[in-house]
Amino acid sequence: MILLDENTKCLVQGITGKQGSFHTEQMLKYNTCIKAGVTPGKGGQDFLGVPIFNSIEEAVGESDINSSIIFVPAKFAKDAAFESIRHLDLVVIISEHIPVHDSIEIMEYANQMGTTVIGPNTPGIISPGVGKLGIMPTHIFAEGNVGVISRSGTLTYEIASELTRAGIGQSTCVGIGGDPVIGTNYIDILKRFEEDKDTEAVVLIGEIGGNAEENAAEFIKEEMTKPVVSYIAGRSAPPGKRMGHAGAIIQGNTGTVASKTEALNSAGVEVAKMPSEIVKLLKEI
């Protein structure tokens, strides 16, 4: 497993909000190690036995926290992220609609501080059997040795469910986020899976727009020894029509299903035409 293991001790920023409280309860039910929550002005209270602090600095001073998950509105997300990055090793930003210029500043600061950021606009991370820092439904995941990386939360769920039903468990599933500016990309996660003793194969779930999958293909060709299979969403997208994610922008001859498929095939990666074909491709490895 990668990123989230038995040593991950997390705090929740925005723990008392509607989304924060709901998903904190779900994370606790999955035995995730949530040691604190942060909501300014509500320090001294608790949520389901989790102590609430006014700031991350206070929370870190009280316990050995090393990661955070952020459920705060977009307009406050930059400040929340900066506070986490200043003190912690891993920051998962669930929040959507963060302005691009805020995301650029967040990632620049994370690079300076050496902090790993997942997101924004991500379903998070799950290491089945260990815990989750995110919003994914846990019942569709199972422990195993296949790593999953995706830009899309919904496709992560669909393919993880297919894998589980076929008896193929997952080591870790990571949603890197669908925004144009994100903290951790495909290559960053591929590197971790390549080094991870619990991961034997990888599923890379992509979509039209940008060149992240083409870049990943180059890395796979040059650096990966573990097998990778893929699915690229957007095969039937009409030319010129704007699709869901902000990152789904096609420029010239890059960003299309065809260009991504060609790049991945050249790196020895089989690309499924439908999500349901992923199981078959994995079994043929």
The tokens describing 138, both together, are 């846990």
Average pLDDT of the residues in 109-129: 97
- Tell me what pLDDT residue 132 has: 98
Listed range (72-81, 161-170, 220-229, 240-249) with the worst mean pLDDT: 240-249
* Best CA proximity match to 285, nearest among 235, 224, 241, 239: 224
- Tell me what pLDDT residue 7 has: 96
Distance of CA 10 to the CA centre of its chain: 16
Which residues lie across from 272 on neighbouring strands? Answer: 231
Tell me the pLDDT of the chain averaged across its residues: 93
pLDDT at 252 over 80: no
- Tell me what pLDDT residue 210 has: 87
- Tell me what pLDDT residue 248 has: 53
Q: Annotated active-site positions, please?
A: 245
- Tell me what pLDDT residue 234 has: 81
The tokens describing 170, both together, are 């997952």
pLDDT at 247 over 90: no
More confident residue, 177 or 239: 177
- Tell me what pLDDT residue 244 has: 54
Average pLDDT of the residues in 182-197: 98
Domains recognised in the chain with CATH numbers:
10-118 (3.40.50.720), 136-283 (3.40.50.261)
pLDDT at 196 over 60: yes
Widest pairwise Cα distance in the chain: 57
- pTM, entire model: 0.93
Q: For residue 255, what pLDDT band results from cuts at 50, 70 and 90?
A: confident
Torsion of CA 48, 50, 56, 61, to 10 degrees: 170
Contacts of 212-215 with CB under 8 Å at 24 or more apart are 212/151, 212/185, 212/186, 212/247, 213/186, 213/260, 213/263, 213/264, 214/254, 214/259, 214/260, 214/263, 215/185, 215/186, 215/187
Percent of the chain whose pLDDT exceeds 90: 88
- Tell me what pLDDT residue 115 has: 98
- Tell me what pLDDT residue 209 has: 87
Average pLDDT of the residues in 123-142: 97
pLDDT at 156 over 90: yes
Average pLDDT of the residues in 242-251: 53
- Tell me what pLDDT residue 62 has: 86
